[in-house]
Amino acid sequence: MEIKANTYQDNGAASLTASIIGASGYSGAELTKILARHRRVKIGGLFANSLVGKRVDEVHPWLHGDILALYEAYAPELIEKSDVVFIALPSGEAMKFVPELLDRGKKVIDLGGDFRLKDPALYRKYYGRDHTATDYLERAIYGLPEWNRAAIAAGTLIANPGCYPTSALLPLMPLLKESVIAGRGIIINSVSGTSGAGRSASVDLIFSEVNESVKAYKVGTHQHNPEIRTVLGSVAAEDVSLTFIPHLVPITRGIYSNICAPLNSDISEGDVAAIYDAYYADAPFVRWSSTAIPEIRGVAHTNYIDIGVRVDRDNGQIVLLSAIDNLVKGAAGQAVQNMNILFGFEETEGL
């Protein structure tokens, strides 16, 4: 059977065309899977320069039956009919594409870190390279849907949040906004599955290196440090300081965050419940509990974040526990959630 590069399933109800640059990586493949079942979307192009001519379902067998297509080499003329372009490439790559895509009138959702920070100096410090598209930084909307729906809906360039930041920001932001917790002395311990590092081969990530072990990495230097601090600072009544320690654990997908923050006053579980209920009443993917303990298996392959809350009065602390799938709510799922808002679809469509 001959397969043409532009042969995709289309149920006839699609109202927009979406393309993916970097479609063969873990986040790109997850994005492909979600878009393939999205009734309002037709996939216009799957670009993966290193795998040109390869069948999508040969590289990712679990897409067999969903996508009948070949990976293509990116060329600007191939996205002419696309309404939205997702960029699922490592940081440092999106800024090479964004100016031209926006100039061509495309809406862009970047899953990497190139447009999450407004300050080029912070980008240089934590990402180790100069930003080459600084004129576009102010146009970028931070795509945390539960906090930024209106801006996302009016945007053209959406900076999809990082996976670790998503797991920390959603539990912390309501409490900081209401001054329930102090902005200083926040500690975030997070663990991540190995898919968070991407699909490229690395000795540190092979099975025999990560199995039966846990290790911290990039302590104090992780690129998500300034992202978490900056976004929290935007809702806090005071300067925010925090300690963020990421860890690698021998699982494929998932992020689990254990967060401790000092209380500003004695607060009851009922008061905390009222705050979360108020802020996330219209957030279809946020689930929180003052009794249940989140688990990664409870959110794997979904766009949910599960949040557990405990008030530790004896030590004047609040303990927050969160779990997400790093490839879905931490990447592709949140990107589609942003797309749904951007084009006026139901926020849960395809998810």
pLDDT means per 10 residues, the chain with 351 residues, are 39 80 93 95 93 86 82 93 96 96 97 97 96 97 98 98 98 97 96 77 73 89 94 93 95 96 90 94 95 96 97 94 98 98 97 96
Domain range for 254 is 164-326
CATH number, domain of 22, equals: 3.40.50.720
Main-chain phi, psi angles of 210, to 5 degrees = -100, -20
Predicted local confidence at residue 200, as pLDDT: 65
Instruction: Name the active-site residue from 84, 163, 331, 335.
Output: 163
Identify whether residues 30 and 156 lie together within a single domain: yes
Please give the pLDDT value at position 100: 96
179/318 same-domain check: yes
pTM for this one?
A: 0.93
**Same-domain status, 195 and 315:** yes
DSSP single-letter state for residue 104: T
Q: Rounded distance, CA 168 to CA 321, Å? A: 9
Whether 241 and 254 map to the same domain: the answer is yes
Residue 192 sits in the same domain as residue 253: yes
For residues 147 and 182, membership in a common domain is answered with no
What is the b/e burial string over 290-320, where b = at least 16 CB atoms within 10 angstroms of the residue's CB? Answer: eeeebebeebbebbbbbbbbebeeeeebbeb
d(CA 167, CA 264): 22
Do 146 and 189 share a structural domain? no
Together in a domain, 186 and 298: yes
| Annotation says 260 is catalytic | no
